[in-house]
Amino acid sequence: MHHPRHRIRSFRRPLALAGATALVIATMASASSTIPLSSRASAGPVSAPRGTGLAPCRIPATMGVQMSEGIPTPHGYTRSTGQVRALNLMIDFPDAPAKEPATDRLAEFFPQTSDWFHTSSYGRLDYVPEAPVKDWLRMPLPFSEYGIERGSPYEPGYRKLVKDLVTVADPKVDFSAYDLVNVLVTPNAGPSALDTVLSVTFSGNDEAPSADGVPLSNTSFVYSRQDDGSGSYEETGYRVLPHENGHVFGLPDLYTMEGGGAVGHWDIMSEDWGANNDLLGWHKWKLGWLSDDQVSCASATGTSEHTLGPLATPGGPKLAFVPVTAESGYAVEVRTPGGNDEAVCRPGVLIYKVSSDVDTGQGPVAVADSTRNSGGCTRRPNVHAELSDAPFEPGETFNDRSNGIRISVLDKDADDNYRIRITRP
Ligand SMILES: [Zn+2]
Strands 219-222 and 180-185: parallel
How far away, in angstroms, is 182 Cα from ligand 1 center?
14
What's the rounded mean pLDDT across residues 33-61? Answer: 63
Instruction: Assess if CATH 3.40.390 describes domain 82-248.
Output: yes
* Predicted pLDDT of residue 357: 97
Ligand 1 ion: nearby residues, β-carbon < 5 Å = 1-2, 253
How far away, in angstroms, is 161 Cα from ligand 1 center?
20
How far away, in angstroms, is 242 Cα from ligand 1 center?
10
Lowest mean pLDDT among 25-29, 56-60, 156-160, 295-299: 25-29
Domain locations in the chain?
13-73+277-424, 82-248
How far away, in angstroms, is 201 Cα from ligand 1 center?
7
Output the average pLDDT for the chain. Answer: 89
* Predicted pLDDT of residue 18: 30
* Predicted pLDDT of residue 230: 85
Tell me phi and psi for residue 382, to 5 degrees: 65, 20
How far away, in angstroms, is 223 Cα from ligand 1 center?
13
pTM, 2 dp = 0.89
* Predicted pLDDT of residue 163: 97
How far away, in angstroms, is 268 Cα from ligand 1 center?
9
* Predicted pLDDT of residue 144: 96
How far away, in angstroms, is 125 Cα from ligand 1 center?
20
How far away, in angstroms, is 67 Cα from ligand 1 center?
11
* Predicted pLDDT of residue 44: 57
* Predicted pLDDT of residue 52: 67
How far apart, in whole angstroms, are the C-alpha atoms of residue 377 and residue 337?
Answer: 14
What are the CA-CA distances from residue 361 to residues 164, 287, 388 (Å)? 30, 19, 20
Beta bridge partners of 210: 215
The 10s digit of each residue's pLDDT in 166-187 is 999 999 999 999 999 999 999 9
How far away, in angstroms, is 43 Cα from ligand 1 center?
46
Given a cut of 60, whether residue 36 has pLDDT beyond it is: no
Given a cut of 70, whether residue 10 has pLDDT beyond it is: no
Given a cut of 90, whether residue 1 has pLDDT beyond it is: no
* Predicted pLDDT of residue 61: 93
How far away, in angstroms, is 153 Cα from ligand 1 center?
14
How far away, in angstroms, is 282 Cα from ligand 1 center?
17
Beta bridge partners of 304: 46, 422
How far away, in angstroms, is 200 Cα from ligand 1 center?
7
Task: Specify whether the CB–CB gap between 165 and 91 falls below 8 A.
Answer: yes
pLDDT band at 46 (very low <50, low <70, confident <90, very high): low
Which among 413, 388, 313, 393 is positioned nearest to 348, based on CA atoms?
393
How far away, in angstroms, is 44 Cα from ligand 1 center?
44
Given a cut of 90, whether residue 17 has pLDDT beyond it is: no
How far away, in angstroms, is 396 Cα from ligand 1 center?
33
How far away, in angstroms, is 139 Cα from ligand 1 center?
25
How far away, in angstroms, is 249 Cα from ligand 1 center?
12
* Predicted pLDDT of residue 45: 61
Given a cut of 80, whether residue 13 has pLDDT beyond it is: no
Residues across the chain: 425
How far away, in angstroms, is 335 Cα from ligand 1 center?
23
Q: How many CB atoms lie under 10 A from the CB of residue 223? A: 25
How far away, in angstroms, is 1 Cα from ligand 1 center?
3
pLDDT band at 31 (very low <50, low <70, confident <90, very high): very low
How far away, in angstroms, is 262 Cα from ligand 1 center?
15
How far away, in angstroms, is 391 Cα from ligand 1 center?
24
Which among 185, 189, 251 is positioned nearest to 218, based on CA atoms?
251
How far away, in angstroms, is 143 Cα from ligand 1 center?
22
State the SS3 of the chain. Answer: CEECCCHHHCCCCCCHHHHHHHHHHHHHCCCCEECCHHHCCCCCCEECCCCCCCHHHCCCCCCCCCCCCCCCCCCCCCCCCEEEEEEEEEEEECCECCCCCHHHHHHCCCCHHHHHHHHHCCCCEEEEEECCCCCCEECCCCHHHHCCCCCCCHHHHHHHHHHHHHHHHHHHCCHHHCCEEEEEECCCCCCCCCCCCCCEEECCCCCCCEECCEECCCEEEECCCCCCCCCCHHHHHHHHHHHHHHHHCCCCCCCECCECCCCCCCCCCCCCCCCCCCCCHHHHHHHCCCCHHHEEECCCCEEEEEEECECCCCCCCCEEEEEEECCEEEEEEEECCECCECCCCCCEEEEEEEECCCCCCCCCEEECCCCCCCCCCCCCCCCCCHHHHCCECCCEEEEECCCCEEEEEEEECCCCCEEEEEEEC
* Predicted pLDDT of residue 195: 86
How far away, in angstroms, is 355 Cα from ligand 1 center?
18
How far away, in angstroms, is 219 Cα from ligand 1 center?
12
How far away, in angstroms, is 243 Cα from ligand 1 center?
6
The 10s digit of each residue's pLDDT in 385-423 is 999 999 999 999 999 999 999 999 999 999 999 999 999
